[in-house]
Chain A
C-alpha cells in the first residue's frame, strides 16, 4: 500500500504563536489515522492547512501524489479530499437532500445524477428517512451524519473528520464509531481528530500526538498510550486503557 497523504515539515505561525511546528506524518491508503492532543495543540490548524483554509508558512502536503499546499479548499476537494467541521456547518435553510446534493454536484453537474449520488450517501449514513428535513432541525448526531454524507458525496479518497464525536452521548458515540468504520470499509483513507480515547482506540490503527504545535509521539494506539510524554501532556497520569472497546474490534 502506498501513502495517500504525506505531510513534511509543515509550519504555521499566527503572530507569535507557532500553531503547527515542523510537523511531518503520512497516512497510508485506506488507513484510519487519529490525530490527538490537548486543546490548542494544533490539530484543527493542521486540518485547515491540509484542506487549504490556511496557507502554510512552509512545508509540503502531498495528497494522492499531488502537491496541494497553497491550493484553495475547493481545489483540494476536487483532487479527492473532503472534511467535516468541528462545529457542524450544515446549510441550515436547505433540506438534508439539498445539502448533500451540493457536495455531489462536484462530480455530477446534472441535477438528476447529483440527486442519485446524494441519496446513496444519505442512505449509507442512515439519514434516508430524514432527507426532506431542514438541516437546522436535525439533532447533533444527525448534523454530524449530514456533514459526513455531504463530504462523502464529493466522492473523496481521503476524509478528514474533525471531532465528529464531540457532544454525543455514549450510545451515539457507539453509532459514530460504527459509521467511521463503515466509511473506512468503503476504502476511504481517514484522518480523525478526536478527544474521546475510547472511540479512537476503536477506529484508529495509527496515531499521531500533537502538543503545542509539535509532534510528540507516533505509533500504534498501544505504543502511544504508554509513551510517558503523551501521558504527561495529554492523557494524565491516572489514565488507564479504556475497557469495553474490544466489542468494536
Chain B
C-alpha cells in the first residue's frame, strides 16, 4: 500500500514536470491547439465529475455555467473595461449563484427527469441571451477587441500562455477533487449517489450536500467559459451555451471513469486523440465517416467497460482485496 502510494507520487511529479516543460519542446501550433483542447475538456470534465460522477447527479446542462461565465467576463470587459482575469472570478461567482435556483428546481427531480431539467435550464439561458438583444448583442454575438499581446487582459500572441492557464486550472480542479475525495464531503457524495434514503438515515443532509457540490462544480465550469471566449475572441449564445459542452463534459468522465479523480483526464485524452486520429485518417474520405466511427468506438467502450477505464481498474483491485 505504502509502496504503491510512493509510486503514485513519483508518477504524478513526473507527469507534472512533463506537462510544465512540454510547450518548450512542442513548437507546432497544431499540436498545442490539441493540447489546449485536451486540457480544456479535462478541466470541464473534472468540474462536471464532482456532481455527475461522485454524486451521480447526471447533469447535461453544464453549458449553463460555461455560458454564464463567458458572458459575465465579456460584458465586464467590453462595457466596463474590466480585465477578464477579474471577470473570470466574477463569472465563477455568477455561475455559483446561478446554481442555487437551478439546483433548487432541478434537484426536486430524480434520475432522467433531473437530467432533462438541467438540459432545459441551459436552453432557457441560451434563449434569454438570444432574444434579449439589449442584454448582450443577441444572436450575432460580438468579437473580443484584439489588443495584441496583452497578458493583463488575458490575450497573448501565441498559444503557450493559454496552455499554462488551463494547466493551472486543471491542477486546481484536480486538487479540489482529491481533497473532497478524502474528506467527509467525498464520502457523503458517493453515499447519496448510491442511495439517498440510506444516506439521510446515516445523518447526511442530502439537500445541503448536493447544493454545495453543485456550487463548486458550477463555479469551475464558469471559469472555463471565460477562458474559452478569450481564447477564440468571440462570443454568441450558440457557442457560449453549446449543448456539446454539456455532452463532452459528461462523456469524457463516463469514458474515463465517473467518480474517479483521473477519469475525466484519461477520458479526454482518449476521446480527443481518437477524434484527431480519425479526422486525419478518415476526414478526406466519405463525409461524416469519422463521426460514425467515433460513435461506434464510444458505444463499444460503454458496452465493454460501463464503469469507465479507471473504474474498471478500481473494481479489479477491489475484487483482489475481497478474495
Contact = CB atoms under 8 A, between A and B. Distances in A.
Contacts of B322: 130, 132-134, 137
Given A74-B205, A74-B206, A77-B201, A105 B187 contact: yes
A100 B200 CA distance: 14
A101 B270 CA distance: 34
B183 A111 contact: yes
Interface stretch (A9-17, A24-32, A87-95, A200-208): A87-95
Interface stretch (A34-42, A78-86, A185-193): A78-86
Interface stretch (B42-50, B191-199, B227-235): B191-199
A89 B190 contact: no
B197 A91 contact: no
Interface string A124-164: 00000010111001000000000000110010000000000
Contacts of B204: 74, 102
Contacts of B205: 72, 74
A217 B42 CA distance: 63
Interface of A: 51-53, 72-74, 77-78, 82-83, 85, 89-95, 98-99, 101-103, 105-106, 109-111, 114, 130, 132-134, 137, 150-151, 154
Interface string B177-194: 000001110011011001
A161 to B, nearest CB: 12
Contacts of A150: 202
A133 B315 CA distance: 11
Given A53-B200, A111-B184, 16 more contacts: A52-B200, A73-B197, A74-B200, A85-B198, A90-B194, A91-B195, A91-B198, A102-B188, A102-B204, A103-B202, A111-B183, A114-B184, A133-B322, A134-B319, A134-B322, A154-B203
Interface centre among B188, B206, B259, B322, by most chain A C-beta atoms within 10 angstroms, is B322
A109 B184 contact: yes
A87 to B, nearest CB: 10
Q: Please give me the 6 A-B residue pairs with the lowest Cβ-Cβ distance, nearest first.
A: A106-B203, A89-B198, A73-B200, A91-B194, A77-B203, A103-B202
Contacts of A74: 200-206
A156 to B, nearest CB: 10
Contacts of B184: 105, 109-111, 114
B280 interface: no
Contacts of A52: 200
Given A102-B204, A134-B322, A89 B187 contact: no
B321 interface: yes
Interface of B: 182-184, 187-188, 190-191, 194-195, 197-206, 259, 315, 318-319, 321-322
Tell me what chain A mostly uses at the interface: helix, strand, loop, or mixed: mixed
A93 B322 CA distance: 13
Given A93-B194, A137-B322, A102 B202 contact: yes
Contacts of A82: 201-202
22 contacts: A77-B200, A77-B201, A77-B203, A78-B203, A85-B198, A89-B198, A91-B190, A93-B194, A94-B190, A98-B187, A101-B187, A102-B190, A103-B202, A105-B184, A105-B187, A110-B184, A111-B184, A130-B322, A133-B321, A134-B318, A137-B322, A150-B202
Given A111-B183, A111-B184, A114-B184, A91 B191 contact: yes
A109 B187 CA distance: 11
A103 B199 CA distance: 8
A101 B199 CA distance: 12
Nearest to A105: B184
Contacts of A151: 201-202
B313 to A, nearest CB: 14
Given A74-B206, A111-B182, A111-B184, A93 B201 contact: no
Contacts of A154: 202-203
B2 to A, nearest CB: 16
B187 A102 contact: yes
Interface centre among A82, A101, A105, by most chain B C-beta atoms within 10 angstroms, is A105
A91 B193 CA distance: 9
A106 B188 CA distance: 10
A101 B198 CA distance: 13
A38 to B, nearest CB: 24
A25 to B, nearest CB: 21
A151 B204 CA distance: 12
Contacts of A51: 201
Nearest to A98: B187
A51 B195 CA distance: 16
B321 A132 contact: yes
Nearest to A114: B184
A92 to B, nearest CB: 6
Nearest to A109: B184
Nearest to A52: B200
Contacts of A73: 197, 200-201
Nearest to B209: A74
B270 to A, nearest CB: 22
Contacts of A130: 322
A92 B201 contact: no
A52 B183 CA distance: 27
Nearest to B206: A74
A73 B196 CA distance: 11
Contacts of B318: 95, 132, 134
